[in-house]
Amino acid sequence: MRRVSRIVTLEPPVLVLADGQQAPDTLLSMCERAQIPMFATKESSAFVIDVLRAYLSKHFADRASMHGVFMDILGMGVLITGESGLGKSELGLELISRGNGLVADDAVDFYRINQTTIEGRCPDLLQNLLEVRGIGLLDIKAIFGETAVRRKMRLKLIVHLVRRETLERDYERLPSEPITQDVLGVPVRKVVIQVVAGRNIAVLVEAAVRNSILQLRGIDTYQEFVARQRKAMERGS
């Protein structure tokens, strides 16, 4: 009987033969009797294991649904949150018109695909749709084209919209430490933006994203300002 190497087993029972191996008759008979599916591939066992690990980690990942508008803004996955009536969808529409992409509106499905990564997708029922008050449902893909929508993005930033009184009551004007929000056990950077008539919120959101990109690269403007202030005080003394 030919020796079969590199057999990958899954649960529920499935056999995958890699490296172009041929299954011996005895193994085929055992699988038929036990009703165990068998697959064979010419790919290497390392490749098969990597593919299966990635697939299974996503399939069995912890998941949660959150309310908001999830977008690709300047290449970063950004969730826009806030209480009802603050104009999240209108903001999303303006950001789309500025060249950014929509992932999901209203309800977003998030999956923790590994220890530090959260991936967001749109429920099938809401695919490509954005609801704008007074207009109704908009098919973003049909209006703006395929480049205006994304199938999924990794969550890197939460932009939380608040009213003026909420900002003054609950948040510091210049927080000394970065704000984070827990999503499926992973801390995600958070920025709070006050919604006031006359403010260009889309520009502020893009500026917040650019600043977050700098922080991820190790450039912290606030800490640089604190250091500059400290040097000025030392020279004055």
Q: Is 169 a catalytic residue?
A: no
Catalytic residue status for 42: no
- Give the total residue count for the chain: 237
Q: Which of 105, 95, 101 is nearest to 68 (CA)?
A: 105
Based on the residue annotation, tell me whether 67 is a catalytic residue of this protein: yes
Selecting among 50, 53, 62, 67, the annotated active-site residue is: 67
Closest CA to 119 of 43, 63, 202, 40: 63
User: Of residues 6, 19, 58, 106, which has the active-site annotation?
Assistant: 106
Q: Which of 72, 88, 105, 112 is catalytic?
A: 88
Q: Which of 3, 33, 173, 235 is catalytic?
A: 173
Verify whether residue 160 is a known catalytic residue. Answer: no
**Terminal Cα distance for the chain, rounded:** 88
Q: Give dist(CA 150, CA 190) in Å, integer.
A: 22
Active site (catalytic) residues: 67, 88, 106, 173
